[in-house]
Structure 1
Amino acid sequence: MWYVIQVMTGKEEEMKTIIESKLHRDLYEDCFYIRRERIWCLEGQKICHVETMFPGYLFVTTKDPEALYWELKHIPGLTKLLRAEEDIFLAVSSEEQEFLENLIDEDKEKIVRLSDVKLDDEKKILSAEGPLKHYVGNIVKKKIRLCYVMIEKELFGQKRKILIGIRTREERKQ
């Protein structure tokens, strides 16, 4: 199962490296954070870059979250394993995990790639390929010119607006 570890925002890579170097691999299978591709417009140029999708969150897969918790207590700088109640660790639900896996689509680097969208003449999204393809119906905001949409999903115990980078099929060909 996936569990959520809260860390200082901006320290995701650093904490991931510390966990991988200090904890025995018997305690966990994988430790990662999710990033996403974004397009920025600079001086008329569209530039793709990668940023952290959920700042301050690491994900860890483990069969023994309690043993992992006690080992994590020895690592300075880690905030906490998120908990749903006093003694129960917050596991990512199967629906949430499926959602996140759909976004990263088995990308080994855990990056949510840009979604290619097809637009009609009024800039309405007709269809999408990539991470957005299953969630076109969840769009609550779209900024076609700025190359992103926001979808709304229940995640980590609350409704969240999640930004997904897009590009039109015409832009992809350029």
Structure 2
Amino acid sequence: MVGEAYSFGGEKMNWYVVQVRSGHEKQIAEKCRTMISNDILTECFIPEYIHKRKFSGVWHDVKDVLFKGYVFMITDKIDLLYSELKKIPDFVKVIGKKQAEIYPLDEDEIAFMKSFGKKGHIVDMSIGFIRGDKIYITEGPLQGKEGLIVKIDRHKRIAYLRLSMFNKETTTKVGLEIISKC
């Protein structure tokens, strides 16, 4: 079942993801936003996450793409959207002659995305600690989602998550500051 996103003018909008070449997400999303009418494409976005990166001896907040190779689109007119996507030159170059893969998100995936990347579809840093071999998240979007964490890189301040998204298991990264380990 395709999940419903927003109630827009009394109509329910569905969420979709379009697979694109990794590294081209922002260019494709911008072309979609400028070339496709708002009547067809309600919203086009790329979820991002904030993490820490050290350069010049100082830690900085940096944004990266949460799901590399995917652009999220919200519409209630998928057939018209698909036709419009074919008119975008960069999009055609990315997918070539094969058919574009457009995946509908189900209600659980939409609920997860809404709870995880709130304002502006950006996932904030989480803060937590490790006691024994158990992870405790005290602040941030990972709170209550500790079971999704499969690996932590404390040096890079990154948590690797295993998620069921887009009809498959996928691994993604989010920012996580571990303040203590005991």
State whether TM-score is above 0.5: yes
Cα distance between partner residues in 2 of 1:41 and 1:132: 22
Q: Which residue of 1 aligns with 2:87?
A: 74
Of the three residues 54, 65, 73, the one matched with 1:60 is: 73
Q: Which residue of 2 aligns with 1:149?
A: 159
* Higher mean C-alpha deviation, range 161-170 or range 19-28: 161-170
- Whether the 8 Å CA contact 1:123–1:144 is kept in 2: the answer is no
Cα distance between partner residues in 1 of 2:67 and 2:156: 20
Kindly tell me: are residues 143 and 124 of structure 1, through their superposed partners in 2, closer, same or farther at Cα, counting changes over 3 Å? farther
Of the three residues 129, 149, 163, the one matched with 1:139 is: 149
Q: Note the alpha carbon deviations across 1:128-148, whole angstroms, 9 max, x for none.
A: 321111310122112223212
TM-score of the superposed pair, with normalisation by structure 1: 0.82
Query: How far 1:81 moved relative to its partner?
Result: 4.3
Aligned sequence identity (%): 25
- Report runs of 4+ in structure 1 exceeding 4 Å deviation: none
Kindly tell me: are residues 154 and 9 of structure 1, through their superposed partners in 2, closer, same or farther at Cα, counting changes over 3 Å? same
Cα distance between partner residues in 2 of 1:157 and 1:165: 24
Q: Secondary structure at the match of 1:126?
A: strand
Q: CA RMSD in A?
A: 2.1
Q: Secondary structure at the match of 2:171?
A: strand
- Whether the 8 Å CA contact 1:38–1:48 is kept in 2: the answer is yes
- Whether the 8 Å CA contact 1:36–1:165 is kept in 2: the answer is yes
* Paired residue type of 1:132: L
1:114 lines up with 2:159 in the alignment: no
Q: Which residue of 1 aligns with 2:106?
A: 93
Total equivalences in the alignment: 161
Query: How far 1:104 moved relative to its partner?
Result: 0.5
Q: Which residue of 1 aligns with 2:10?
A: none
Q: Which residue of 1 aligns with 2:8?
A: none
Cα distance between partner residues in 1 of 2:100 and 2:16: 8
TM-score of the superposed pair, with normalisation by structure 2: 0.78
Cα distance between partner residues in 2 of 1:127 and 1:11: 33
Query: How far 1:49 moved relative to its partner?
Result: 0.8
Structure 1 residue runs without a partner (length 5+): 84-89
Q: Secondary structure at the match of 1:137?
A: helix
Cα distance between partner residues in 2 of 1:9 and 1:149: 20
Q: Note the alpha carbon deviations across 1:70-97, whole angstroms, 9 max, x for none.
A: 11111112136424xxxxxx20111111
Kindly tell me: are residues 124 and 42 of structure 1, through their superposed partners in 2, closer, same or farther at Cα, counting changes over 3 Å? farther
Of the three residues 14, 38, 41, the one matched with 2:27 is: 14
Q: Which residue of 2 aligns with 1:163?
A: 173
Kindly tell me: are residues 55 and 126 of structure 1, through their superposed partners in 2, closer, same or farther at Cα, counting changes over 3 Å? closer
